């Protein structure tokens, strides 16, 4: 799998958790330590009625998919979620 394909794999996973899944954004980026990553942001409804934000940061290392997922209710700041996600570090 390529980094760019990870958004579709995550969407399949989200179908197990809820419905009305929308991919809000996706982008390829380079982390501070030079590792290539892919960020995706989704919204979906869990239990059919609770709106949630869902961020995923994916990297591939030694042919393994490493994925950091974080989600919260829609009322929680998207920027705060991203701050938490990007506070974690990958080692080379």
For residues 50 and 73, the answer to whether their CB atoms sit within 8 Å is: yes
Question: Which range of residues forms the domain containing residue 10?
Answer: 3-87
Q: What is the DSSP letter of 14?
A: H
- Percent of the chain past pLDDT 90, that is, above it, reads 16
pLDDT in tens, 13-44: 888 888 999 999 999 988 878 888 899 999 99
42 assigned to some structural domain: yes
pTM: 0.77
Looking up residue 35, the CATH number of its domain turns out to be 3.40.1000.10
Q: Is 73 among the domain residues?
A: yes
- Residue 92 resides in a domain: no
- pLDDT tens column, 57-76: 898 888 888 888 888 777 77
Q: Give the number of domains in the chain.
A: 1
Can you tell me which residue has the tokens 């239990």?
Answer: 47
Rounded CA-CA distance 59/31 in Å is: 10
């Amino acid at each position: 799998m390529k980094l760019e394909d990870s958004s579709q794999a995550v969407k399949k996973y989200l179908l197990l958790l809820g419905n009305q899944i929308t991919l809000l954004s996706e982008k390829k980026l380079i982390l501070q330590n030079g590792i290539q990553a892919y960020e995706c942001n989704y919204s979906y409804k869990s239990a059919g009625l609770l709106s949630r934000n869902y961020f995923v940061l994916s990297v591939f290392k030694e042919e393994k998919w490493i994925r950091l997922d974080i989600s919260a209710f829609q009322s929680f700041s998207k920027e705060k979620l991203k701050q938490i996600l990007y506070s974690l570090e990958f080692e080379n």
